Amino acid sequence: MKLIIGLGNPGKEYTGTRHNAGFHWVDRLAEMLHVTLKPEARFHGLCAQVRQKDMELWLLEPQTFMNRSGQSVAALCQFYKIQPDELIVIHDELDLPPGIAKLKKGGGLGGHNGLKDIAAKLGTQDFWRLRIGIGHPGERNAVVGYVLHPPKKEEAQLIDEAIQRSLEVWPLLVQGACEAAMLKLHTKV
């Protein structure tokens, strides 16, 4: 992996919302790696370059709002010549309940505007995704309000646990051992 992207919306009013699960994941990883995300205008996002031993990669939180995430991702990918199979997008997932995190490569976009824009800008859907379950409100017309509000306390705890559990497979992800990471993450202990 050369690029880790956390999806969310910028601004204090969105900080604790379900839609910002990807930002939360990348923030926690940055803490673990002792790096600070900083504004980078040419990439339209908050970025950090990580260099440890033989590893060099970027962390990115697009600041373009969710439905324009691809602008930020494509800018960084083009500049550093990063291919779609060398990145992973961490995002909220309506189709998974809180407490569940799943890893997959490619597939459908599930109506997720951030993923749609990234796929459009990269010209492919064939990239890794780490999906953090946030649950579904039950009605399609309630989705926008649901994702843009904070989860209930018990849901927030489950989402946090899923983020923590998925961060445990980080060493495998960075080595490019995504299949092994998927097996470990998806296996119930």
Domain ranges across the chain = 3-186
pLDDT at 58: 97
Helix ranges restricted to H, the chain? 21-33, 69-80, 113-122, 143-147, 153-167, 170-174, 178-186
Q: What percent of the chain lies above the pLDDT cut of 70?
A: 99
Residue type, 84: P
> Reduced to 3 states, what is the DSSP secondary structure of residue 110?
coil
Tokens 């839609």 sit on residue: 19
The tokens describing 91, both together, are 């995002």
Q: Is the pLDDT of residue 132 over 90?
A: yes
Residues in a beta bridge with 102 = 131
Q: Is the pLDDT of residue 189 over 60?
A: no
Residues in a beta bridge with 52 = 55
User: Which CATH number, 3.30.70.260, 3.40.50.2000, 3.20.20.80, 3.40.50.1470, labels domain 3-186?
Assistant: 3.40.50.1470
User: Annotated catalytic, 149?
Assistant: no
* Angstrom distances, CA of residue 164 to CA of 99, 101, 181: 10, 10, 14
Tell me which residue of 133, 43, 41, 118 sits closest to 87, measured CA to CA. 118
* Sign of CA pseudo-dihedral 122, 126, 129, 135: positive
pLDDT by residue (tens digit) across 14-73?
999 999 999 999 999 999 999 999 999 999 999 999 987 777 899 999 999 999 999 999
The tokens describing 25, both together, are 């994941």
* Angstrom distances, CA of residue 5 to CA of 20, 43, 80, 158: 12, 12, 14, 22
Beta carbons within 8 Å of 145's beta carbon, 6+ residues apart: 137
Q: Which helix (H) or strand (E) holds 89?
A: strand 87-93
pLDDT band at 188 (very low <50, low <70, confident <90, very high): low
Q: Is the pLDDT of residue 155 over 90?
A: yes
User: What phi and psi values does residue 104 have, to the nearest 5 degrees?
Assistant: -155, 160
0.85 exceeded by the pTM? Answer: yes
Active-site residue identified among 19, 44, 91, 112:
19
Mean pLDDT across the chain, nearest whole number? 94
